[in-house]
Amino acid sequence: MAQTEALINRSTTVFQERHGRPMPEDNVWLLQRRAEHAALTELLDTLRSKPGPAVQGAGCGAAPTGPIALTLVLDRHRRIRP
């Protein structure tokens, strides 16, 4: 997560220096990096809030026996234009 933050900061700084203006928030590359950062944050928050023993092997212990739904919100960081 720290590396993703550093990449975003480094790239937006280079963009600012090269173009003389900030990288637009609706830039495709920036949107995807922010979505990755948000997904990592959500994943880590979930792991911290629901600690439990590690599951080893396929289906060992009381692990769920089916697909686990995971929703990634990719447009959360998009700028709404009037």
**Mean pLDDT, range 23-28, rounded to an integer:** 93
pLDDT tens figures, 28-82? 999 999 999 999 999 888 888 877 766 655 555 555 667 777 777 777 666 666 5
Q: For residues 31 and 24, give the distance between their C-alpha atoms in angstroms, rounded to a whole number.
A: 10
Check residue 69 and give its pLDDT: 77
Check residue 63 and give its pLDDT: 59
Q: For residues 21 and 80, give the distance between their C-alpha atoms in angstroms, rounded to a whole number.
A: 20
Check residue 34 and give its pLDDT: 93
Q: Who's near 41: CB < 8 A, 6+ residues apart?
A: 1
Check residue 57 and give its pLDDT: 59
Give the closest residue to 76 by CA, choosing from 34, 45, 24.
34
Domain residue spans of the chain = 2-47
Indicate whether this model's pTM tops 0.75.
no
Please name the amino acid found at residue 51. Answer: P
Give the closest residue to 41 by CA, choosing from 8, 79, 80, 15.
8
